Structure 1
Amino acid sequence: MNKQVQVEDLGLKDFKETWDYQEQLFKAILETKIKNRRESAGLETDNHFLFVEHPHVYTLGKSGDLSNLLLDENQLREKGATFYKINRGGDITYHGPGQIVGYPILDLDNFFTDIHKYLRFLEEMIILTLKEYGISSERSPGETGVWLDVGTPFARKICAMGVRASRWVTMHGFALNVNADLGYFDNIIPCGIRGKAVTSLNVELGVERVDEAEVKSKLLKHFRVLFEAEMV
């Protein structure tokens, strides 16, 4: 089992270009697995962890409801945003500057074959990272992602998640609001959940800007421990 995970920070990159790159890495792992099964090749499969920041974009998961996007094409253009219907789970979400997006593209055969556990570990990585900033966060029953003040009228989401998996290979991932422009969330019903607010780390800390490089470093630290991985 290969527990090495290749980390790559793509910087600010178009959503569709990044999606295509994810698909390329995802398919290469699948092809290796198929070859191993057919030919008993015994080849190691790669694991990747991509960090990226997207220009303003709304994405709708395969089971999502288009009515949760509250803008038409002209309004999207006015906002400088794009829209894609994509092949992850979950409903609609927003990505934009000031948000740390992480795409782990892993062969879970190298770690554990349990998608539920995989999602919980990603959530735990976020929860432990926020704890380092003095922020208490948690899971909300039946709602994937990471939340603050669950069970109160002030419940708000700080990290959205949506993944795809095939033959235990994952893609897509999480979006953590760090210095995000929360106004863009007003144009959707986030994750299809009405009446729940969203927040960002800088808002919770009452500061203008949080060091995103520092947050990424903390995320990788907790990922490495949880997955017993070697980050390269």
Structure 2
Amino acid sequence: MLPIVHFQDLGLIDYQEAWDYQEKLFAQSIALKIERRNGTSEEETKNYLLFCEHPHVYTLGKSGTEEHLLLNQEGLDEFDAKFYKINRGGDITYHGPGQLVAYPIFDLDYFFTDIHKYMRYLEEAVIGVLAHYGVKGERSEGFTGVWIDTDKPTARKICAMGVKSSRWVTMHGIGFNVNSNLSYFSHIVPCGIEDKAVTSLQQELGRPVDMQEVKDLLQEKLASQFGFTYAQ
């Protein structure tokens, strides 16, 4: 029997609100796992996949440095952006309208207990979506996420990733630049990488992309990659 994932599209949602919701689901799963281990509950954990977009926001992971944000508070206000230090891995990144954000809150005991493999699976799903549009997504050695033209001076990142896990439950996830306003990346050192550019699917294709179509494709690719089915 395939694992079941509960899908929710949160639409355009404030970063803090989405983070709080993730934390709630994450904490519920961890508490259930502890109760099951202690024999005080037989209830099973649930897997969730959240899609959303955020208003302009910069987030800094645990391994990042605040110097990679090139705006002070006045600059953030000018560009109508917020800034949060958060508990995922990785450095600084940007989220905003036109970027598809995916947050899997998965109990990896349903799949495999290997975070490295988990990250590669997320990357492979995005690579599959890009292939649908005739764009060749790639991995860049030493970096997470999905890239284009990794062997050229024009190497550019199209999808950033950062996760947190505890007791094999995951949170946070991916930021896939679909129709993103790429000028916002000029105010940070994206993911702490100074010598590579960022791009979007819109920029690669030279036209806006139907976000709902990308969402449908990513849902399909994630289900195929991980081998799960969606709750009805």
Q: Quick check: TM above 0.5?
A: yes
CA contact (8 A) 1:2 1:44 kept: no
Structure 1 stretches of at least 4 aligned residues deviating more than 4 Å after TM superposition: none
Does 2:156 align with 1:159? Answer: no
TM-score (norm: length of structure 2): 0.98
Partner of 2:70: 70
Does 2:213 align with 1:210? Answer: no
Query: Residues of 2 paired with 1:137 and 1:27: CA distance?
Result: 34
Query: Residues of 1 paired with 2:133 and 2:172: CA distance?
Result: 26
Letter in 2 for 1:16: Q
DSSP-derived class of the 2:159 partner? strand
1:63 positional shift: 1.1
DSSP-derived class of the 2:112 partner? coil
Partner of 2:92: 92
1:151 positional shift: 1.9
Give the percent of matched residue pairs that are identical in Structure 1 and Structure 2. Answer: 58
Unaligned runs of 5+ in 2: none
CA RMSD of aligned residues (A): 1.0
Query: Residues of 2 paired with 1:151 and 1:136: CA distance?
Result: 12
DSSP-derived class of the 2:154 partner? coil
DSSP-derived class of the 1:20 partner? helix
CA contact (8 A) 2:98 2:177 kept: yes
Number of residue pairs aligned between Structure 1 and Structure 2: 231
Query: Residues of 1 paired with 2:74 and 2:160: CA distance?
Result: 26
TM-score (norm: length of structure 1): 0.98
CA contact (8 A) 2:2 2:227 kept: no
CA contact (8 A) 1:2 1:46 kept: no
Partner of 2:126: 126
Q: Which segment is superposed worse, 39-48 or 147-156?
A: 39-48
Residue deviations 1:181-206 (CA, integer Å, cap 9, x gap): 00000000000001100000011001
1:43 positional shift: 2.1
Query: Residues of 1 paired with 2:167 and 2:154: CA distance?
Result: 39
1:40 positional shift: 5.8
Partner of 1:190: 190
